[in-house]
Amino acid sequence: MSTNIQGLVDRTYREYLEPMDDLQPYTLLTSSLTDSATTVSFNGDLLTQEEEDIMEAGSIIEIGQELMLCKTLSTTLDTVDVVRGVRGTTASAHSSGATIKIAPPFPRKNVFDAVCDQIKNLYPTLFAVETKSVSAKVGYIPLSGTSDNYLVAPISAISQMTDFSAGSDETGIIYQGVAVELVDLPNPFTYTDADGNSQTITYTNNGPNKVNALQVYGVSSGHTVFVTFKKKFIEPTAEDNTLAEIGLENEYEPIIMAGVAAQIIAGRDIPTATADYITDQLSTSTFPVNSAANIRTSLLRYQNDLIEQARKDLRARYPEPVALNKITYA
């Protein structure tokens, strides 16, 4: 299983897009490259003469997510002059030893963008879950976590119970379900805190343009309330984003990979070896493919089947709560 987006992208290549017996030619960077340098030094010992000749003027090479246009190749010096950051990619620094892919059929930036698309498309069928603790008070409680604008709705809430009938405060001993409401506020939102100071919450991430606040009903001020929220998946911004911070469970990886593969191959001819490789992968998952033309359809069927299984599991763990006038009753 992957721990971050980089691992998920690599796994998609490994399991769907790049058959090990038919890899595109690649070599390694032999000296570090700044984001403005225009000469790439490569290890020519890793390439045949035919593979090296592919880097003639007009060809594309890839390092990380950056695509470069080849201008002048020197087979004597093992260097190639390039135009940096072409086809919508961004020029960035690369370390010595980085992999150089030659004429990649499936650019890494495309695969990364497809991963982001597939994660975003999981909601509302699937969703992330986050539990937060707040201290009850009269009025609304602003939620100012770094991704709290992604919160969608409460699923459940429990709090410490004060048992007045027993003649004593049972706080901290008994917990029971309580009613809560998630309130949408404008972004940015300015309010006065308990000390009389003005505070402003602003979100500039790619999430919903709002600030969330929580209202708690029937709980004495100062008691801790634990609220479990349904939450949108956070859109990745870089390959080092972890699956945990995005809200993805490990079980969702195959869903995303199948969707990415279907998205990447849509409307294009793909190498025969790749088509055969994907067909074999689907066959092992009991989704046989009758022809190359049906590969994308089979990938989507496979993905939908995985999504349905995940949806049933999610609903079993987190049943839909009772809600009336936007107030959730645990």
Please enumerate in sequence order all residues whose Cβ is within 8 A of that of 180, keeping only pairs 6 or more positions apart, or say none. Answer: 154, 157, 214, 215, 216, 217, 225, 227, 327, 328, 330
> Is it the case that residue 237 has pLDDT exceeding 90?
yes
pTM of the model: 0.88
> Is it the case that residue 285 has pLDDT exceeding 80?
no
Burial of 302 (0-12, 13-18, 19+ CB in 10 A): buried
The pLDDT mean for the chain works out to 89
Q: Decide: 103 and 60 in contact? Cβ < 8 Å.
A: yes
**Of 196, 219, 244, which Cα lies nearest the Cα of 134?**
219
Q: Decide: 243 and 250 in contact? Cβ < 8 Å.
A: yes
Give mean pLDDT, residues 283-295: 64
Segment holding 75, helix H or strand E: none
Of 274 and 43, the one with more pLDDT:
43
Of 269 and 25, the one with more pLDDT:
25
What digits encode the pLDDT tens for the residues 58-109?
Answer: 999 999 999 999 999 999 999 999 999 999 999 999 999 999 999 999 999 9
Give mean pLDDT, residues 100-121: 97
Q: Which domains does the chain have, with CATH numbers?
A: 1-23+105-127+234-330 (no CATH), 25-104 (2.40.10), 129-232 (no CATH)
Q: Decide: 123 and 153 in contact? Cβ < 8 Å.
A: no
> Is it the case that residue 164 has pLDDT exceeding 60?
no
Between 108-122 and 5-12, two packed helices, what is the crossing angle to 10 degrees?
A: 110
What digits encode the pLDDT tens for the residues 187-227?
Answer: 999 998 888 899 999 999 988 999 999 999 888 888 889 99
- List, edge to edge, every strand of the sheet that includes 327-329: 140-142, 211-217, 179-185, 327-329, 322-324
Reading the block at residue 18, the tokens are: 């790049």
**What's the rounded Cα separation, in Å, for the pair 225 and 216?**
8
What confidence score (pLDDT) does residue 174 get?
72
**Strands annotated E in the chain:** 26-28, 39-41, 60-63, 66-74, 79-83, 99-102, 128-135, 140-142, 151-160, 175-177, 179-185, 189-192, 198-201, 211-217, 224-231, 322-324, 327-329
Q: Decide: 178 and 161 in contact? Cβ < 8 Å.
A: no
Cis, peptide link before residue 25, omega less than 30° from 0: no
**What's the rounded Cα separation, in Å, for the pair 238 and 248?**
15
